[in-house]
C-alpha cells in the first residue's frame, strides 16, 4: 500500500495525491460477475429532483460481492486483487474447487494464490470468515454481520476494522470503527483482518472536476444562500449564518437525532466518540 504525489505540471496536479495501486494484480474484471448500474441523477420516478448534488459521472458496472460467505468448510483460492469503482476497498476474485468464482472484499495482506475458507472451526487467519463464537478475543475483524445470515454490513470500507472485546452468553461485545461498543449475536460471521486500501484517506482530489467524474455535483454553502433557501442564509456581508442546522431546520454539530425509544438501544454498550 502506497500513495504517490504527482509533479505539478498542471494546476490540477499540483496538490494531487494518487493511490499507488501496489496491491492490484489485474485491471480486467470478471465478466460473469458484472451487472449494469442504472443512474437516477437524484430524480425520482416522476423526474423530480429528490436528492441534491447527484448527477453525471463516469459510467460504472456493479461487481457482485459475496458478503454472506455462506460456502462453509469449502476452501477458495485468491485469483486476483482488483479495483472496484463502487467502493473504497479493493476486492478479491476467488475461485472454489468446483470452478465457481466470486468477489469478496479484500483484507490487508491477502495475496494471489492464498487459500481462504469460512466456517465454524477454521484457523483465525487473514481472509477467513468465522462466527464470533469461535474468534479469539482481541482479534481485529471486519465485514461484520448484524444478524446471522444477513451478510456483512459493518466495517466494510477501506482501512476500517472492528475488535472483538468480550463474549457473554449468546452475545459478543464488538468495538466498531465509529468508537461505538455494541452487543452482537455470537452466531454472526466476521472476517479476520483489516479491510484493504488503508491509504485511501491520504488521497487528495486535486481539482473540482474529479468530483464531477465521481458523479458529485457542486454544493453551495448554506451561509451564502438567501433566507428563503436555507435557515442559515441571509445577512449583510459575510454573516456567520446563525446556529448550524440543516435545510429542514434540524440542528447539527452535537444534536442527537437517534430515537430514545429505538429497539436496538439496549444493544449499545457505549455510544460512539463525540
Same domain, 101 and 157: yes
Q: What total number of domains does the chain contain? A: 2
Cα torsion angle, 25, 214, 62, 125, sign: positive
- What confidence score (pLDDT) does residue 113 get? 95
Has residue 218 been placed in a domain?
A: no
User: Which range of residues forms the domain containing residue 165?
Assistant: 3-201
User: Which residues, other chains included, contact 92 with Cβ-Cβ below 8 Å and sequence gap of 6+?
Assistant: 78, 79, 80, 81, 82, 103, 104, 105, 106, 110, 127
Q: Does 248 have pLDDT greater than 90?
A: yes
Same domain, 147 and 253: no
Has residue 27 been placed in a domain?
A: yes
List the Cα angle 81/97/89 in 5-degree steps: 20
Q: Which residues pair with 171 in a beta bridge?
A: 168, 185
Same domain, 176 and 108: yes
Has residue 270 been placed in a domain?
A: no
Same domain, 259 and 139: no
- What confidence score (pLDDT) does residue 121 get? 87
- What confidence score (pLDDT) does residue 145 get? 96
Has residue 161 been placed in a domain?
A: yes
Q: Does 220 have pLDDT greater than 70?
A: yes
Has residue 155 been placed in a domain?
A: yes
Domain of residue 181, CATH code: 2.40.50.140
Mean pLDDT, the chain, rounded, equals 95
Same domain, 257 and 141: no
Same domain, 182 and 254: no
Please measure the distance between the N-terminal and C-terminal CA atoms of the chain and give it in whole angstroms. 30
Q: Does 240 have pLDDT greater than 90?
A: no
Q: Does 132 have pLDDT greater than 80?
A: yes
| Short-list 269, 266, 229, 219, CA closest to 249 | 229
List the Cα angle 223/229/231 in 5-degree steps: 55
Has residue 152 been placed in a domain?
A: yes
* Beta strand pairing call for 118-119 and 129-131: parallel
Give dist(CA 134, CA 124) in Å, integer.
9
Has residue 80 been placed in a domain?
A: yes
Same domain, 244 and 196: no
Which pLDDT band, with edges at 50, 70 and 90, does 269 fall under? very high
Has residue 219 been placed in a domain?
A: no
Give dist(CA 139, CA 162) in Å, integer.
9
Same domain, 173 and 239: no
Same domain, 141 and 252: no
Q: Does 238 have pLDDT greater than 90?
A: no
Q: What is the pLDDT of residues 55-77, one digit of tens each?
A: 999 999 999 999 999 999 999 99
Mean pLDDT of 161-188: 96
Q: Does 120 have pLDDT greater than 90?
A: no
Same domain, 255 and 144: no
Which pLDDT band, with edges at 50, 70 and 90, does 239 fall under? confident
Which pLDDT band, with edges at 50, 70 and 90, does 274 fall under? low
Mean pLDDT of 107-117: 96
- What confidence score (pLDDT) does residue 1 get? 65
Same domain, 73 and 189: yes
Same domain, 261 and 154: no
Which pLDDT band, with edges at 50, 70 and 90, does 23 fall under? very high
Distances from the Cα of 251 to the Cαs of 18, 231, 244, 255, in angstroms?
36, 10, 6, 6
pTM of the model: 0.92
Place of cell 442527537: 256
Amino acid at each position: 500500500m502506497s500513495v504517490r504525489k504527482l509533479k505539478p505540471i498542471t494546476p490540477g496536479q499540483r496538490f494531487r495525491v494518487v493511490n499507488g495501486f501496489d496491491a492490484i494484480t489485474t485491471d480486467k474484471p470478471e465478466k460473469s460477475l458484472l451487472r449494469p448500474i442504472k443512474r437516477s441523477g437524484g430524480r425520482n420516478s416522476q423526474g423530480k429532483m429528490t436528492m441534491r448534488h447527484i448527477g453525471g459521472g463516469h459510467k460504472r458496472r456493479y461487481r457482485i460481492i459475496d458478503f454472506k460467505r455462506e460456502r462453509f468448510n469449502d476452501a477458495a483460492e485468491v485469483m486476483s486483487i482488483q479495483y472496484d469503482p463502487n467502493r473504497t476497498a479493493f476486492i478479491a476474485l476467488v475461485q472454489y474447487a468446483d470452478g465457481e468464482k466470486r468477489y469478496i472484499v479484500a483484507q490487508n495482506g491477502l495475496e494471489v494464490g492464498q487459500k481462504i475458507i469460512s466456517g465454524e472451526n477454521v484457523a483465525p487467519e487473514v481472509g477467513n470468515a468465522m462466527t464470533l463464537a469461535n474468534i479469539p478475543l482481541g482479534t481485529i475483524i471486519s465485514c461484520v454481520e448484524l444478524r446471522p445470515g444477513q451478510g456483512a454490513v459493518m466495517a466494510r470500507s477501506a482501512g476500517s476494522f472492528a475488535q472483538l472485546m468480550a463474549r457473554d452468553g449468546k452475545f459478543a461485545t464488538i468495538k466498531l470503527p465509529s468508537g461505538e461498543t455494541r452487543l452482537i449475536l455470537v452466531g454472526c460471521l466476521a472476517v479476520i483482518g483489516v479491510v484493504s486500501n488503508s491509504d485511501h484517506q491520504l488521497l487528495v482530489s486535486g481539482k473540482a472536476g474529479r468530483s464531477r467524474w465521481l458523479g458529485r455535483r457542486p454544493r453551495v454553502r448554506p451561509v451564502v444562500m438567501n433566507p428563503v433557501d436555507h435557515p442559515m442564509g441571509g445577512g449583510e456581508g459575510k454573516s456567520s449564518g446563525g446556529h448550524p442546522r440543516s435545510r429542514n431546520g434540524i440542528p447539527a454539530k452535537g444534536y442527537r437525532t437517534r430515537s430514545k425509544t429505538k429497539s436496538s438501544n439496549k444493544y449499545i454498550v457505549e455510544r460512539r466518540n463525540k
